[in-house]
Structure 1
Amino acid sequence: MNGTPGLDRPDHRGRTGLDQAGRDLTGNPDVKILDVELLATAWHVLRRTTFDYRHRDGRWTTEQRETYDRGDGATILLYDRERRTVLLTRQFRYPVYVNGHPDGMLVEAAAGLLDDDDPARAIRREAAEELGVTVGELQHVFGVWMSPGSVTERLHFYAAPYTAADRTGPGGGVAEEGEDIEAVELDFDEALRQTTDGRIADAKTVMLLQWAALHGPFRQNADMY
């Protein structure tokens, strides 16, 4: 078949024109996009973009940046204010395992990619799949670019209360996608302590727990830490 997958013919996810991202950007007059090269589309998309950049002293230089585009995502902290607990996940993460984590089993807030859903719908889906929880009222906490030097993903943070009655499904993730996720219910104060000794070392989870202590459902005890 003629053509390049992801460019002028569909790749295995049905995508074309993947080299067009960023070519029409006009919001910053100090940045002029010159070229976008598609480096990989095995699942997500790796691009190399060449652009002219005007520095603060007026100099123009030609720069190149590689960006990894995996789409945007959402995450949620589920909390039980009365019992002072939070419901998290534990799963194997190869990237942390290969970069120094003892066993790669990371404790995290439930999360996932949007996959063309709006963030609220996506995080309800992820909470049901990973933890078996039917989420009621959602609170949007903030939206953050987690690794702006190379990854395009913006992560939408949510919080929501839960009770035992809300745990309506088995959780565990989607087996067909290779997910093997354990639900971990922790006392909130213990979870917060674990962010200081390395047992919880996932950025989004640390951020949500600190938000809960400083501004969220457990803020009355923030002075303890």
Structure 2
Amino acid sequence: MTDSNKSTPTKHEIIRRDTCFKGFYQLDRLTLRHELFDGGMGPEINRELFVRHDAVCVLPYDAKRDEVVLIEQFRVGVVGKHPNPWLIEMVAGLIDKEEQPEEVAHREGEEEAELVFSALWPITKYFPSPGGSNEFVHLYLGKCESEGAGGVHGLEEEAEDIRVSVWSFDDAMQAVKDGRIVNAATIIAIQWLALNRAEIMGLWS
């Protein structure tokens, strides 16, 4: 049985930090040590850290029609690990300027799906892979009108080729259950909507 009253360590020390690569993303190598659960500081350890911009992800939802708008695009990280590297996802973008997460949400909605969000509902914030990346995700539900949504969108200068489609909530939930949706943020958002759908429909429809 765990002892929930024990304090969590809070101390760490970065001894050295070197940038191994810097492009659109960055890879750093850190030498550090941290406090141990049993007390005292642990030995020096080396860790590679994938440094990237924080992300904003939005699940577009039409509460009147009980539909979500999802996108499909090619993802290089999936190659060799999944039968099809075109993933079913939701609207998303990186915070790469001096802007707030909500601004990114509205901008990406227009760029990737030609959608206008009349309201944003914060779902959660989380680290998707803290063992090796410092990425932090801001997750939202976006109020939209799904009627007429579709087509292929994205910015040509960013080589985006994004197909937009409208799904009933039940079909999207079934795609999560069937393993057709394997993108973490999309799974989290759809499951969150399943838990909070009645409240959202009451307020947004």
Q: TM-score, normalised by structure 2?
A: 0.86
Q: SS in structure 1 opposite 2:119? A: coil
- Rounded to whole Å, the distance in 1 between the matches of 2:84 and 2:58 is 24
Paired letter, 2:47: R
Structure 1 residue 166: deviation in Å?
A: 8.8
Q: CA deviation at 1:33?
A: 1.1
What amino acid maps onto 2:37 in structure 1? R
1:53 corresponding residue in structure 2: 34
| Change in 2 beyond 3 A, CA 1:124/1:107 | same
**Aligned equivalents of 2:67 and 2:146: distance in 1?**
11
Matched letter for residue 86 of structure 1 = V
Contact map agreement 2:15 2:31 (CA 8 A) in 1: yes
Residue matched to 1:82: 64
What do the CA deviations read for 1:44-74 (whole angstroms, capped 9, x no partner)?
Answer: 1110111122322235311111111111010
Which amino acid counterpart does residue 47 of structure 1 have in structure 2?
A: D
> Structure 1: 5+ residue runs without aligned partners?
1-27, 221-225
Within 5 Å, give how 1:22-37 maps onto structure 2: 30-37=11-18
Q: Distance in 1 between matches of 2:177 and 2:76?
A: 23
Contact 2:151 2:163 in 1 (8 A): no
User: How far, CA to CA, are the matches of 2:117 and 2:198 in structure 1?
Assistant: 16
Is the Cα contact below 8 Å between 1:140 and 1:158 reproduced in 2? yes
Report percent identity of matched pairs: 31
Matches within 5 A, 1:122-201: 122-164=104-146, 172-201=153-182
* Alpha carbons 1:46, 1:68 under 8 Å: kept: yes
Partner of 1:41: 22
Structure number with the bigger relative contact order (C-alpha 8 A, sep ≥ 6) is 2
d(CA) in 2 for partners of 1:188 and 1:122?
24
RMSD: 2.1
Whole-Å separation in 2 of the counterparts to 1:158 and 1:207: 11
SS of the equivalent of 1:60 reads coil
SS at match of 2:57: strand
Runs in 1 of length 4+ with deviation above 4 angstroms?
A: 164-167, 217-220
Counterpart in the other structure of 1:9:
none
Q: TM-score, normalised by structure 1?
A: 0.79
Is it true that 1:63 corresponds to 2:45 in the alignment? yes
Q: Distance in 1 between matches of 2:14 and 2:84?
A: 42
8 Å CA contact retained: 1:110, 1:127: yes
Aligned counterpart, 1:4: none
Query: Does residue 98 of structure 2 align to residue 102 of structure 1?
Result: no
